[in-house]
Amino acid sequence: MKPYLAAALQMTSVADLSKNLAQAEELIDLATRRGAELVTLPENFSFLGDEDAKFKQAAAICEASEKFLKTMAQRYRITLLGGGYPVPSPDGRTYNTALLVDANGEELLRYEKVHLFDVNLPDGNTYRESTTVTSGSSIPAVYSSERLGKLGISVCYDVRFPELYRQLSKGGAEVLAVPAAFTAFTGKDHWQILLQARAIENTCYMLAPAQTGFHNARRQSHGHAMVIDPWGIILDDAGVQVGMAIAEIRPARLEQVRRQMPSLQHRVFG
């Protein structure tokens, strides 16, 4: 792995597929103009609105999302991660899927979100992801690239479950991606600290593309897409506006932190 720029994009997706993909393409274009070689899109990048509406359009959203990811990766000659779009599942629901593709538009990794967001929040909002989403059943493989290092992927609510990231780091991961649409209510207290904890305990870079702002009258996302280094230092934070966090992934920094704090070598329980 050589040093390279990675971008975590920040969007305000709505219940309009075409509008969302246009916004995503504009941000991808900006990121590549800044030199990004690895670009990551947030959860629900292609559709974020009423869950019933998304479920009814799942097949169309899936087809458009996958075509978009492969086309953009080829057009801009980048490795591209699209997190959290619906893929119809055998039980009549959908998988919340993240897809990593290379500059030839070839699929590298596919991950079906395991941890589903079924939560009653004190702000009055209730989320029941499992109503329309089937839980994935396996931890994704770690993708190894001479250019980009070893990448592990996850989706949003997964960040609360450190055992998943421990498995990815045991598989050799050096960069961990967490495409998210974190709620404004939980994000203000937990988003940053969870990302820093996953970076520190696994001595990995974290790429955290995010949703921000209001998606409809009730749903609001926290924003603050981030790139975090293996020591837990925030290298860039997108704030609450549409845009991106972008920073350099440096193998020398990764090696330095792992040498100074060799906690992965000191594991006792797994």
Q: What percent of the chain has pLDDT over 90?
A: 84
Which residue in the list 54, 70, 113, 150 is annotated as catalytic? 113
The string of pLDDT tens digits covering residues 254-263 is 999 999 999 9
The per-residue pLDDT for 127 is 84
Per-residue pLDDT tens over the stretch 13-66? 999 999 999 999 999 999 999 999 999 999 999 999 888 888 889 999 999 999
Catalytic residue check, 107? no
Q: pLDDT at position 207, please?
A: 98
Residues of the chain above pLDDT 70, percent: 100
Mean pLDDT of 127-152: 92
Q: Are strands 149-153 and 143-145 parallel, antiparallel or unpaired?
A: antiparallel
Residue 6, SS3? strand
CB 36 within 8 A of CB 29: no
CATH number at residue 204: 3.60.110.10
At 53, list the tokens.
């509406």
Q: Mean pLDDT across the stretch 96-125?
A: 92
What pLDDT does residue 216 have?
Answer: 84
User: How much is the pTM?
Assistant: 0.95
- Asked whether the beta carbons of 14 and 20 are under 8 A apart, the reply is yes
Q: Pick the catalytic residue: 54, 66, 156, 174? A: 156
156 annotated active-site = yes
Is the pLDDT at 182 greater than 80? The verdict is yes
* Dist CA 182 CA 161 (whole Å): 15
Asked about 26 being catalytic, the answer comes back as: no
The residue range of the domain holding 158 is 4-266
State the pLDDT at residue 120. 85
Compute and round to an integer the Cα radius of gyration of the chain: 17
Q: Say which of 37, 43, 66, 129 is annotated catalytic.
A: 43
pLDDT tier, 220 (very low <50, low <70, confident <90, very high otherwise)? confident
Instruction: Provide the pLDDT for residue 123.
Output: 75
Q: How many angstroms separate the CA atoms of 141 and 155, rounded?
A: 14
Q: What is the pLDDT of residues 150-181, one digit of tens each?
A: 999 999 999 999 999 999 999 999 999 999 99
Residue 238 has pLDDT above 90, yes or no: yes
Residue 217 scores a pLDDT above 80: no
Total domains present in the chain? 1
